[in-house]
A = this chain, B = another copy of it.
Amino acid sequence: MNKFLSNKEVKFLSSLKQKKFRKQYNEFVIEGEKLIFESLNNNQIIKKIVYSKKIKNFDKLRKLSSEKNIPLHLCSEKDSQRISDTKNSQQIFALIKCNDIKELSDIKKHKNEPFIILDGISDPGNMGTILRTCSWFGCYNIIITKECVEIYNPKTVRSGMGAHFHITNIINDDNEKIIKFFKDNQYKIYSASLSGKPIENLKIKDKKWALILGNESKGISKYFEKNSQQIHIKGMGKMESLNVAEAASIVIHYLSKI
């Protein structure tokens, strides 16, 4: 039988639903067996796994955790609900160390890989979905501007479906330094916009591209707009705009063809 989680520990895990505590401790909580497997398989630093007695058959997870010396703790169903960010808790959690947020000066070898720049994405679900799409298409360098929702927001982690563990570089830097980095490295800089060149007209030659995705209501910030080639997905007129995660999917799919 595994050790029962103390009330203090329940409180601590529950506190990590708040950004300030995630920032303070540099840790976050994930929920559900699928996400825990994904973190285990992608060499994340897992501090502990917590489960309620409702979780019965998890021998595979138990074995894997024991191989990696990850402590397992039991908690009550009620405590599970306190730890959970959702109405119906999945009754199993892992406490995980956040990955380091880098600056562009830390990125020495980027092997001419694509970069995605999230410029003020405010909806956590959108951010998670975009990360999932990035991972699907093999875009593992993500730049997040200061105006974005936090990447470890529980909703972002949930909709990311494990993408957080695939990203090679999570980067945060000033807008000027971002543009300078890509110009210095001879990257093409595109931004998804409501005007600009139709995407079908683009000729993509290599993987040296960076794509800027803007805020849900304000779009791309002025500085990025001036310093990028705006690309556009042609619509039929009745709808004012596409959701940013949808625009992201279409553009990343298009740019990833090479």
Residues of chain A touching chain B, judged by Cβ–Cβ distance below 8 Å, are 42, 125, 129, 132-133, 135-138, 159, 161-163, 166, 200, 233, 235-236, 238-243, 245-247, 249-250, 253, 257
Contact = CB atoms under 8 A, between A and B. Distances in A.
Contacts of A132: 239, 242-243, 246
A84 to B, nearest CB: 18
Nearest to A236: B138
Indicate the member of A133, A240, A243 with the most B CB atoms within 10 Å: A243
B238 A166 contact: yes
A243 B249 CA distance: 10
B257 A137 contact: no
B239 A163 contact: yes
Contact of A243 (B129, B247, B257): B129
A25 B236 CA distance: 33
A166 B238 CA distance: 7
B133 A246 contact: yes
A246 B235 CA distance: 16
A249 B252 CA distance: 11
A162 B249 contact: no
